[in-house]
Amino acid sequence: MATGTSLSHVFPLGSRLNERGHVEVGGCDTIELAREFGTPAYVVAEDDLRARARAFVQAGREAGHEDFHVVFASKAFPCTAVLGLFAEEGLWCDVASAGELHLALNAGFAPERILMHGNAKSVSELEMALRARIALIVIDNFDEIDRLARLLDVVQSAHAPGRAESVRPAHVPAGRTVHARSGTGPHAARSSQDVLIRATPDVRGDTHEKISTGQADSKFGFSMADIPAAIERVQSVAGLSLQGMHAHIGSQLLELEPFRREAAALAQIGSGVGGFSIYDLGGGLGVAYTEAQHPPEIEEWVGTVVGAAHEAGIPPHARLLVEPGRALTANAGVTLYTVESVKRNVFTWVGVDGGMSDNLRPMLYGAVYEAHVADRFNPVGAAGETPCVIAGKHCESGDVIVRDASLDDPRPGDVIVVPATGAYGFAMASNYNGVPRPPVVFCKDGDARVVVRRESFEDLTARDVL
């Protein structure tokens, strides 16, 4: 491929082959990045994250729904720098645990832009959400309603006149700038907590069963049959204010039709009670992990979801939320590895210095990626390439990053670039085999900066209590 050539849509926006024939991301030469920061390393093009955030927001405007907001599903890349960037871009944030709530607040999201999800929220997680006064708790089950009812009594009495108590969530370090609604004393008392009810609309999209959530037997949300009882129960709790409905039908969906059926199901629930003020249609827009994949564009997806909401009868004055995760971050990132060994038996095995500890997705649900040698780049399947398997370094036969790779004469010392690793890689990383987790390096206009350092061996023993 000629130098100066832009790389495919799988790579971060603006990626290209530079004059030296090296893959360049965010204006930075990946061979130089590997030299400077070591491998494995997560490399993220900052401008790409911003561009996708802006595309979602702009698409909402163009779809003509005034009260439309983009909620980043923080589980996709729960890293302070990423969260802070999206907070700056005016996005909202969804969290699925107290830890994610801590990260979101710490990164600068105002509580009134935070939603909490979860099918098994603990008392302490709900308490933290109430005290932080987040915008919405998305109720998943009847037990959670009872739990919230009991907690609201406790939290409100703690804020009753004369009881001075900080609203700083227990896990937020003192001294950090944290958005929390008004301080202490009588004005801190909140008359109610806004909530959504999570519906399971019995819509199944074409995706891996482990990331399909909208079907009737899902562990998430209330079945359609239980929704009337859930609404009644929520409305019977004085401290809960039901604002609307939520659904998330699954992830890595490449077709638009299931989203139309989802909107219709949510609209149908609302029609029985004269419409709600908030409808949250979840995330799920798929991304290209390989050049051959062509998911819907952000504009197309937002247009479809908003259009479907209108057609289905969701009131035009209602607040519409969408919760993309991977569509905001996956293609903004690449992972750099170094080849440690090349061996041939039935296959050619290219062993690299990372694997399932930095990217669990291939092992977890057979996720497919492509790979390239950073300084001998060829399009996937180009003539003369060596068909090979890119294997991780871990003690599991299933630890394979790319099963059907084709590389130009791979050798030990080569730097390998795997694109589209910006979602759920960092999030699911582990220390399996005592491997320290990789750094996150932000690149922009040719400048690179570490936003999460590489773990050290000391980190591996930091939690020991001996």
Ligand X SMILES: Cc1ncc(COP(=O)(O)O)c(C=O)c1O
CB of 153 to ligand X, least distance (A): 28
Query: Amino acid identity of 339?
Result: V
- Pick from 10, 31, 73, 172 the residue near ligand X by CB under 6 A: 73
CB of 75 to ligand X, least distance (A): 6
Residue whose entry in the numeric block shows the structure tokens 């590997």: 34
Q: Should residue 421 be labelled a site residue for ligand X when binding is judged by CB under 6 A?
A: no
CB of 136 to ligand X, least distance (A): 12
What the block records as the tokens of 328 is: 């905001």
Q: Should residue 361 be labelled a site residue for ligand X when binding is judged by CB under 6 A?
A: no
Q: Nearer Cβ to ligand X, position 35 or 210?
A: 210
- Pick from 25, 53, 76, 417 the residue near ligand X by CB under 6 A: 76
Residue 42 neighbours by CB under 8 Å, 6+ apart: 333, 334, 335, 358, 421, 422, 425, 426, 438, 439, 440, 441, 452
What the block records as the tokens of 211 is: 């990331």
Residue 436, preceding bond cis, omega within 30 degrees? Answer: no
Q: Should residue 9 be labelled a site residue for ligand X when binding is judged by CB under 6 A?
A: no
Binding residues among 286-345 for ligand X as defined by CB under 6 A = 323-327
CB of 95 to ligand X, least distance (A): 10
Q: Nearer Cβ to ligand X, position 23 or 423?
A: 423
Point out the residues that are catalytic. 395
Q: b/e per residue, 49-62, with b = 16+ CB within 10 A? A: bbbbbebbbebbee
Binding residues among 113-132 for ligand X as defined by CB under 6 A = 117
Please choose, from the candidates 366, 202, 211, 392, the residue with its C-alpha nearest in 3D space to the C-alpha of residue 284: 211
Binding mask 24-63 for ligand X (x = CB under 6 A): ----------------------------------------
**Could you give the count of Cα atoms lying within 13 Å of 20 in the half-sphere of its Cβ?**
10
Residues facing 137 on adjacent strands? 116, 195
In this chain, which residue has its C-beta nearest to ligand X?
Answer: 325
Q: Sort residue 328 into left (φ over 0), alpha (ψ -120 to 50) or beta.
A: alpha
Phi, psi of 402, rounded to the nearest 5 degrees: -135, 120
* Contact window for ligand X (CB under 6 A) among 68-76, 298-306, 382-390, 412-420: 68-76
Total binding residues toward ligand X, as defined by CB under 6 A: 17
CB of 180 to ligand X, least distance (A): 24
Q: b/e per residue, 2-39, with b = 16+ CB within 10 A? A: eeeeebbbbbbbbbbbbeebbbbbbbbbbbbbbeebeb
Binding mask 272-291 for ligand X (x = CB under 6 A): ----------xxxx------
What is the CB neighbour count within 10 angstroms for residue 273? 11
Q: Should residue 101 be labelled a site residue for ligand X when binding is judged by CB under 6 A?
A: no
Q: Nearer Cβ to ligand X, position 220 or 377?
A: 220
CB of 73 to ligand X, least distance (A): 3
- Pick from 18, 106, 200, 251 the residue near ligand X by CB under 6 A: 251
Residue numbers of the site for ligand X (CB under 6 A)?
A: 73, 75-76, 94, 117, 248, 251-252, 282-285, 323-327
